[in-house]
């Protein structure tokens, strides 16, 4: 029986959580956890697999014989930007736990803005008893930009809550019961949108796409007066100076942000102090390490049986 290749793990998650999840994973092969000081300086040649999230800059030069790279999350832009990235398959993490968590966050933010939770919180702080106008979900059109696995699930969950939902992607996607637009229809899509949800991958085309010009194209005068921007995709898809200016000028009424151009967000950023912004620390859909390792185990098992892999990244489009 041939020797099974070890698996390299280089995940910049909570080290204790990773170590605990690894204690019950990959029972049939060795695991080399880069976070373990005992692995420092270890020769990584001849190893087939690596699971990575924000890996060490020299990882790929040390592990020069990799056959497959598994991303520890849904995003792969940081992996693809690494200079020493080998020409081997890169696999995205796709799991119901990740998808469900993202949809929970998106629905939560849409309901937060619909039901004006931040305004009521300010009234509570000021001990003010005053009922605000409450539009129904069906009065709000949510435009979702990015119709991959995460986007499609968010569309479905938002429709269950009664929102009117439309979608946009670079190329035309067909979703039953949902109007969708492609690049040529962006202006029309924006003009119909009250709540804009960003779930785009980061590519050269999407870097900085959420800018002043785009915000200015959103519908004004809807059920809540001003449009809302909700981003849980990639931080560098938004131009934060434009976003802050739009919020201050009333082009946007509010925002919910889970991702930022630079992370962690600088303590000096004015976004922290904006009372019309809901801010979370890239926590909308944190990877479940146990689910991640089960996913990679199943992918490796299939790969070693017949050479096939699922959820492969297309490097030509960046996701």
Q: In the annotation, is 282 catalytic?
A: yes
* CB neighbour list of residue 64: distance below 8 Å, 6 or more residues apart: 44, 45, 86
Report whether 78 contacts 54 (CB < 8 A).
yes
Of the residues 234, 236, 290, 315, only one is catalytic, namely 234
Would you call 238 helix, strand, or coil by DSSP? strand
Report whether 181 contacts 189 (CB < 8 A).
yes
Helix extents (H) in 163-217:
186-191, 212-216
Report whether 17 contacts 33 (CB < 8 A).
no
Tell me the two tokens of residue 45.
Answer: 């040649």
Q: What are phi and psi of 145, to 5 degrees?
A: -100, 115
CA distance 188 to 289: 40
DSSP letters, 168-186, are E-SS---BTTBEEE-GGGH
Extract the runs of DSSP E, i.e. beta strands, from 126-209. 141-145, 164-168, 179-181, 195-198
Of the residues 219, 282, 290, 294, only one is catalytic, namely 282
CA distance 116 to 105: 16
Catalytic machinery residues: 234, 282
């Amino acid at each position: 029986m041939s020797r099974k290749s070890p698996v390299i793990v280089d995940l910049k998650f909570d080290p204790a959580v990773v170590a605990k999840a690894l204690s019950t994973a990959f029972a049939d092969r060795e695991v080399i956890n880069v976070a373990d000081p005992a692995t420092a300086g270890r020769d990584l040649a001849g190893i087939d697999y690596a699971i990575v999230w924000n890996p060490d800059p020299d990882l790929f030069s040390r592990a020069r014989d990799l056959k497959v790279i598994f991303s520890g999350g849904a995003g792969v832009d940081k992996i693809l930007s690494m200079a020493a990235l080998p020409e081997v398959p890169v696999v995205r993490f796709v799991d119901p736990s990740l998808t469900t968590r993202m949809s929970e966050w998106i629905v939560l933010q849409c309901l937060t803005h619909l039901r004006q939770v931040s305004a009521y919180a300010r009234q509570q702080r000021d001990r003010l008893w005053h009922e605000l106008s409450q539009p129904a979900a069906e009065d709000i059109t949510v435009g979702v930009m990015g119709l991959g696995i995460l986007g499609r699930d968010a569309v479905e969950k938002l429709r269950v809550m009664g929102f009117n939902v439309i979608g946009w992607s670079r190329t035309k996607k067909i979703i039953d019961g949902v109007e969708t637009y492609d690049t040529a229809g962006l202006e029309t899509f924006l003009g119909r949108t009250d709540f804009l949800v960003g779930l785009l991958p980061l590519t050269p085309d999407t870097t900085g796409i959420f800018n002043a010009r785009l915000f200015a194209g959103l519908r004004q005068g809807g059920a809540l007066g001003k449009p809302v921007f909700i981003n849980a995709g990639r931080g560098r898809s938004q131009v934060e100076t434009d976003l802050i200016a739009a919020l201050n000028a009333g082009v946007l009424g509010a925002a919910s942000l889970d991702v930022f151009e630079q992370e962690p967000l600088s303590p000096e950023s004015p976004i922290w102090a904006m009372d019309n912004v809901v801010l979370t620390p890239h926590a909308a859909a944190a990877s479940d390490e146990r689910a991640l390792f089960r996913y990679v185990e199943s992918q490796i098992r299939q790969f070693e049986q017949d050479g096939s892999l699922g959820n492969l990244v297309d490097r030509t489009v960046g996701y």
